[in-house]
Amino acid sequence: MIFENQIADDVPIPILLFSTDEAELVWLNLAGQFWLGSSIKSLSGKSLASLFHEDSELSEILKKSTERMTSVQVHNLILKPRGKSEEKCNISSFLHDGNVGLCIQPQGRQTLSESVFGEGASSLGRLLAHEIKNPLAGIRGAAQLLRDDIDSEEGQSLIELIEQEIGRIRRLADKMERLGDLPPDEFSEINIHEILRHARKVIQSGVAETVVFTENYDPSLPTTLGDEDSLTQAILNLIKNASEAFEPNSDKPEIVLETSFRASGGLPIEIRIKDNGSGIPEHVRDKIFHPFITHKPKGQGLGLALVSKVIAAHNGVIEVTSRPGETVFSILLPVQKGNPHEV
């Protein structure tokens, strides 16, 4: 078995293992999954060319290592994973169980495009925070006036929900300048099911009654550490997208929220958000988490980019599979340190 003792999963640099014949990915460690921005499930079997732009030098490293039956080391090689910015890396190859592996040590190079986008993102965050906060005070005041005029229990419950969302959005606006770059020392213990139930309640109150929400939760799911407001916003974005995936005359539209615990691997908490809508068009599917990429006529292409950034800030992975009639967003998260379920 490949690295059965899982020592490689504890190594903080990407390790990728390829078949010697077709140069297809057969395994990668957790650091590799974080670096490439996807899980081993979705990356397994992919070729070098599908993982990296300009893969010729990597192909040559694999070839030399296989032919010479020895390690090959290359310093300061520029790599550009698909959908990522280029990085200067040190590479070491190795042979293992009939396969050839790469240890990739990114040198932290920041390209000009990254620097420019980073400054623009911060400016955008400040602008969004300002524009969001201005109307919140008026909305809160209107909600308080409505509370005095509404007697029904359902009405009071909806007003309470509005006030909770106002508080959460204001806290989120305070963090917008960082756009999801959340320091771990601000994380707290989180129950994922509470976030899912709250997000479902928020979205369900604004969609057609014909949309059915189904919840299938693993009651033994352990807690994780994170920022509750940011994770809530990420989940809200995903459920909202699911609610917008249906055609006007869709037959039995349904959104399914699921959780499960995976006994193996370093990211055992799995959250799935499914819908039976029209699916994500193939031409944007591979770029759906990039900023300003959208298939919606009035979309801005920022929602899923923020979701991806928030999940990455929580040391997690998000992936999507989609076809007409079924779209599934899967989020994988670590457990809280010291949790009895920790693997």
pLDDT band of 303, cuts 50, 70, 90: confident
Instruction: Point out the least confidently predicted range of 13-22, 63-72, 260-269.
Output: 260-269
- Architecture of the domain delimited by 7-106: 2-Layer Sandwich (3.30)
Q: What angle do CA 143, 132, 176 make, to 5 degrees?
A: 130
More confident residue, 205 or 133: 205
Following DSSP, what letter does each residue of 303-338 receive, concatenated?
Answer: HHHHHHHHHHHTT-EEEEEEETTEEEEEEEEPPPTT
Following DSSP, what letter does each residue of 239-302 receive, concatenated?
Answer: HHHHHTSS-TT-SS-EEEEEEEE-SSSS--EEEEEEE-SS---HHHHTTTTSTT---STT--S-
Compute the distance between CA of residue 224 and CA of residue 187 in angstroms, rounded to an integer.
9
pLDDT band of 181, cuts 50, 70, 90: low
pTM for the model stands at 0.53
Instruction: Point out the least confidently predicted range of 16-25, 123-132, 183-192, 297-306.
Output: 123-132
More confident residue, 20 or 341: 20
Alpha helix ranges (H) inside the chain = 7-10, 30-36, 40-43, 48-51, 56-68, 112-149, 153-175, 192-204, 228-243, 282-285, 303-313
How much is the pLDDT for 10?
Answer: 61
pLDDT digits (tens, 9 = 90+) for 20-46: 888 899 988 877 887 887 778 888 899
Element (H, E) at 77: strand 73-81
User: Backbone phi, then psi, for 330, in 5-degree steps?
Assistant: -115, 130
Strand, helix or coil at 216?
strand
How much is the pLDDT for 293?
Answer: 58
User: In terms of C-beta density within 10 A (0-12 exposed, 13-18 middle, 19 or more buried), how is residue 140 classed?
Assistant: middle
User: Backbone phi, then psi, for 248, in 5-degree steps?
Assistant: -55, -35
> What CATH number is given for 186-343 in this structure?
3.30.565.10
The reply to whether 186-343 shares the fold of 7-106 is: no
Range 154-175 average pLDDT: 76
Compute the distance between CA of residue 75 and CA of residue 304 in angstroms, rounded to an integer.
35
Domain ranges within the chain, ordered by starting residue: 7-106, 111-179, 186-343
Going 215 to 217 to 222 to 224, the CA torsion angle's sign is negative
The residues pairing with 332 across neighbouring beta strands, listed in sequence order, are 270, 317
pLDDT band of 129, cuts 50, 70, 90: low
